[in-house]
Chain A
Amino acid sequence: MKWRRRMEEELARDIADHLAMETDGNIARGMTPADARHAALRKFGNVARVQEDTRGVWAWAAFDAWRADVRQAFRRMRRSPGTSALAVLSLALAFAPSVTVFSVMDRLFLTPAPVKAPREIVEIMFRDTRPNAVKPYLGVSYPEFQDFRRSLRSFSGLAYESRGAATVTMNGRRVLVGANMVSENFFGVMGVPMALGPGFLQGRASVILSHRFWMRELAGRRDIVGQPLPINGQSMTVGGVAAEGFPSMSGIFVPDLWYSVEPWGGRLAAQRRDHRAGTVWARLRPGVSVEGAAAEVNGYCRKLAQDWPDSNRYLSGYTYAAMADHERGGITMTAMGVTLLGILLAVACANVAGILLARAEERRHETAIRQALGASRGRLMREWMVESAVLSTLAAAFGLAGARVLMRALPGLLPSMIIPLHFEFSFGPRVWLYAIALIFAAALSFGLVPAWRGSRPDLLSGLRQDSAVSVLRIRVPIRSLLIVMQVAAAEVLLFGAGLVLDTVSGVGRLDPGFDPERPVALGVLLPTSDDGSPRPVDWEAVRDRLARIGGVRRVAYGAIVPLSGSVGPTLKLETPGQEPREVLGGSAGPGFFSTLGMRILSGRDLAAGDQHGVLVDATLARQLDPSGGVVGREIRLDGAVRQIVGVFQDAKWETIYDRPRPRAIALTPARSWGGVTFAIEVNGDPGAYVAALRSGMAAAQPGATVASAQTLRQHYRDWLFLERAATQVLYGLGLLALLLTVTGLHGITSALFSRRSREFAIRLALGATPRHIVVAVLASGVRLAAAGLALGLAIAIPGGLLLASQISGVPAWSVPALGLSSAVVILAAVTASAQPASRVLRIQPADIVRSE
């Protein structure tokens, strides 16, 4: 604005000089000074208007031509509001999901956690080398971590992390959060700076908060450092707040805080070598490769196996570059996503290009005249490009608004977890960059062809035929080519969606081992006292209380639930004449499995008083005795003799993809320290009982923490969330592409019809039946669709192979996916051509021929 003021001052001085000179001249010619001044002003004209006109030259002249073009573009769009709206809508429909999906991927995959040199970080775990190991990969216990830390030379630092949950009490409110127990050097090894505070206080019970938690629950209060914070009832001192963005959001389990393991290192659980609840993060020394480090770890594991044969005999090391792998995976996912979105955008662009091309044809007359009058080709092309840019910008505005709505809605669609996920999606700088790139790519791609064609100086020849290109020496109208590509793209997306759906429906057909349709609600209760510290709770008392809720038929509780994301404990099984081996364990209260609809194959469910009884699953029963008669047999589990009371069906415990593994279930003690899940079986809709279950659990044991409450069906659905979401997104994109294709196809068949209506009229007059002509119009649409389908399949089938190689569980080939997508595409093509074709029936030959 300084520049502007200087210009103003100079202009004023220039005008004053001018008037002074003119006045001087007039005086020299003999006028009185007053008259001379008047005459000069008269001759000069209106000073204010001159200043205004001059200002106009400064401010706008540079943009004058562009502004005129933009105005012109708007005027043209207003003149054909229908097609303009269609073009803007097409693009906006592609923009909104593109930006939304990209923002999610940006958040999950492209936002690096503030970890120093993440490629140097490896994660160390154990691998069980036995072929039938119940847990092929194992964590590391705290004593083992200390051994590693003392002995391994490949690393400049090793840190321990054990995932978990804890209750935090703030202002009298207790919340359940993700809380990881880590060694004090954790942040040092990771190279994660503190946003606030000094970090862990050596040897003292201290806690580091995640930036997200600090902002969310403590409103970013800076005086929190040094304050006590009760975690699980233990007062811990806040040592600091970790840097923003650590850890990245892509893990399923994102902790809210970390507390140091050292003050608790003497505890019994921490001292047990087989309590493998943790993982080891290590930073490679400069010059050491991942392979070199892995070799050292494996060598050390062999030594551990000799020193501790009971716990480590079969364990080898598993060392991998966790962060680099994660980063690579994220980039692959993002690349696939961007490609998919690009296909959708290409379909939308093809639509808009079709519309603009049609307009270019309509405007040929105008273009010809303007060229005759001397408009340069560059000038005409610029007009077209500006029109494309205006369309694209308008669409982007709508698209971004749509994306905002979608992003706001997204967190609500995520499944409810015991520890709440706090996802928030927003427009980061990369998302803006992506959106702007989309706008430019779109404007360029659909703007160039019509601009080139529309400004082409083929004044006379152009009047008679469509814009066309040569493909294999056949003249193909560009708009038809666009439709072929659109159909192909829609087919690719639908086929891909079909493949994923095939996987998901396959997953949906997998038996989870319980009946999600039973009228059951589940509630998770953690045994805590008022201050959040652990305290054994009398489960039977809670059960009695819940049983009194009206409409509740049956109440049961158990410490292990199918599809809970955890495998459960391992137990040592000893059978006479056989090597001791590991099986999976767990515990359930009386009637718990029956309440969940898990089938008891023989014998009976656990009942009250079954202190020495045990349930085994079908896999373990088969292993114990292939002929099946195991009920009543005694087995030794972790040194205690148990009698098998029944056999239950195999179930999916960790995820729906679990393979069957032997498992034995004992009775949950009536009072215990671990959390349990209550199941209530009700009359009617279980959803109506969720609130009552929650309040009932809270009221029965004041102080106990109610972690979650939902229906059994919801529990099941939440565990299939990712699969369902992937299918829905893909199908959404595919259908959107199809919708855009249909409008494009409709447009082109309509245009074809209008152009040939005279021919049709004459043919009708000469005696052709309308049916012939309807078929001809329909056929032209279907021919295009068929060509597109062929092209689409040519891309989709190798694409399917690629997809299958990238995502495990997705088939490369599926007949239903192929058949369904092809049928939908052809059906859509017929529908799109049907309306223009039906217009043939309304042709009045006389009218049309006369109007020519």
Chain B
Amino acid sequence: MSIGEEKDRVEFLQGTLDMLVLRTLLLGPAHGHTIAHAIERSSGDVLQVEQGSLYPALHRLLRRGWIRAEEGISENNRRAKFYRLTAKGRKRLALESGKWERFARAIARVMRPAAQGGGL
């Protein structure tokens, strides 16, 4: 989904971008532009979204009913489309976060078995 131009950037796993978008919207409704910057900033610029790829993801989330779109005025007084997390999206995020944590822990165990003192 995104292209890492440098070695320390990671590629997005399938579905990860969706989760990041949901996570960002947990803080409040935002425009696509704001979401892209928020993801970059909060990942310490490791996750760099090719900003355009955000839009298919947003529309996928809209279709699943996890977010909602509404008209609003941006901070620099522009008329823009804002995306807001729905209750269903909130539930989904909780589920996905849990899954993600388990996955990350499992990967970590696989990658550093000795340090954890165990295998799978």
Interface residues of chain A, those whose CB is within 8 Å of chain B, are 10-11, 13-15, 17-18, 20-22, 24, 43-47, 49-51, 53-54, 56-58, 61-62
Contact = CB atoms under 8 A, between A and B. Distances in A.
B59 A54 contact: yes
B90 interface: no
- 8 nearest CB pairs, A to B: A50-B52, A45-B52, A53-B56, A45-B50, A21-B33, A57-B59, A18-B33, A17-B80
Nearest to A58: B59
Nearest to A50: B52
Interface of B: 31-33, 36, 50-53, 55-56, 59-60, 63, 74, 76, 78-81
A398 B63 CA distance: 37
A58 B55 contact: no
A60 to B, nearest CB: 11
A10 B55 contact: no
A49 B81 contact: no
Contact of A21 (B31, B56, B59): B31
Given A13-B81, A21-B31, A61-B63, 16 more contacts: A10-B81, A14-B32, A15-B55, A17-B32, A17-B33, A17-B74, A17-B80, A18-B51, A21-B33, A22-B33, A22-B51, A44-B50, A46-B52, A49-B52, A50-B56, A57-B59
A61 B74 CA distance: 30
A11 B51 contact: no
Contact of B53 (A13, A14, A50): A50
A53 B81 contact: no
Given A10-B81, A21-B76, A62-B63, A56 B52 contact: no
A22 to B, nearest CB: 6
B76 A47 contact: no
A61 B56 CA distance: 11
A21 B78 contact: yes
A373 to B, nearest CB: 14
A375 to B, nearest CB: 16
A14 B51 contact: no
Contacts of A17: 31-33, 74, 78-81
Contacts of A11: 55, 59
Contacts of B76: 21, 24
Contacts of B60: 57, 61
Contacts of A15: 52, 55
Contacts of B51: 18, 22, 43-45
Pick from A11, A17, A21 the residue with the most CB of B within 10 Å: A21
Given A61-B60, A61-B63, A21 B52 contact: no
A24 B77 CA distance: 12
Contacts of B78: 17, 20-21
A68 to B, nearest CB: 15
A56 to B, nearest CB: 7
A804 B80 CA distance: 79
B55 A21 contact: no
B55 A54 contact: yes
Contacts of A54: 55-56, 59
A610 to B, nearest CB: 95
28 contacts: A11-B55, A13-B81, A14-B32, A14-B81, A15-B52, A17-B31, A18-B36, A21-B31, A21-B33, A21-B78, A22-B33, A22-B51, A24-B76, A45-B51, A45-B52, A45-B53, A47-B52, A50-B53, A50-B55, A50-B56, A51-B55, A53-B53, A53-B55, A54-B55, A57-B59, A57-B60, A58-B59, A61-B63
Pick from B31, B55, B81 the residue with the most CB of A within 10 Å: B55
Contacts of A20: 78
B120 to A, nearest CB: 14
Q: Is the interface of B mostly helix, strand, loop or mixed?
A: helix
A50 B51 CA distance: 9
A18 B55 CA distance: 10
B63 A44 contact: no
A44 B52 contact: yes
Contacts of A14: 32, 55, 80-81
Given A18-B33, A53-B55, A58 B50 contact: no
A65 to B, nearest CB: 12
Contacts of B36: 18
Contacts of A43: 50-51
A597 B24 CA distance: 101
A14 to B, nearest CB: 5
A802 to B, nearest CB: 55
A47 B56 CA distance: 12
Pick from B32, B52, B76 the residue with the most CB of A within 10 Å: B52
B113 to A, nearest CB: 22
B81 A56 contact: no
A62 B60 CA distance: 10
Pick from B50, B56, B80 the residue with the most CB of A within 10 Å: B56
Nearest to A43: B51
A43 to B, nearest CB: 5
Given A10-B81, A54-B59, A61-B63, A21 B74 contact: yes
Nearest to A45: B52
B36 to A, nearest CB: 8
Contacts of A21: 31, 33, 74, 76, 78, 80
Pick from A43, A49, A51 the residue with the most CB of B within 10 Å: A43
Pick from A17, A18, A44, A61 the residue with the most CB of B within 10 Å: A18
A24 B78 CA distance: 11
A45 B49 CA distance: 10
B72 to A, nearest CB: 11
B5 to A, nearest CB: 11
Nearest to A20: B78
A54 B81 CA distance: 16
A22 B37 CA distance: 10
A66 to B, nearest CB: 15
A18 B51 CA distance: 9
A56 B63 CA distance: 12
Contacts of B79: 17
Contacts of A49: 52
A22 B35 CA distance: 12
A711 B107 CA distance: 90
A344 to B, nearest CB: 44
Contacts of B74: 17, 21
B65 to A, nearest CB: 12
Contacts of B80: 14, 17, 21
A57 B80 CA distance: 21
Contact of B32 (A18, A47, A51): A18
A10 B76 CA distance: 20
A10 B53 CA distance: 17
A58 B81 contact: no
A61 B61 CA distance: 11
B51 to A, nearest CB: 5
B108 to A, nearest CB: 20
Contacts of A62: 63
Nearest to B32: A18
Given A58-B59, A61-B60, A61-B63, A18 B31 contact: yes
A11 B81 CA distance: 10
Nearest to A47: B52
A58 B63 contact: yes
A802 B56 CA distance: 65
Contacts of A47: 52
Contacts of A61: 60, 63
Contacts of B59: 11, 54, 57-58
Contacts of A22: 33, 51
A49 B52 CA distance: 9
A757 to B, nearest CB: 40
B100 to A, nearest CB: 15
B29 to A, nearest CB: 14
Contacts of A24: 76
Contacts of A58: 59, 63
A43 B53 CA distance: 11
Contacts of B50: 43-45
A325 to B, nearest CB: 57
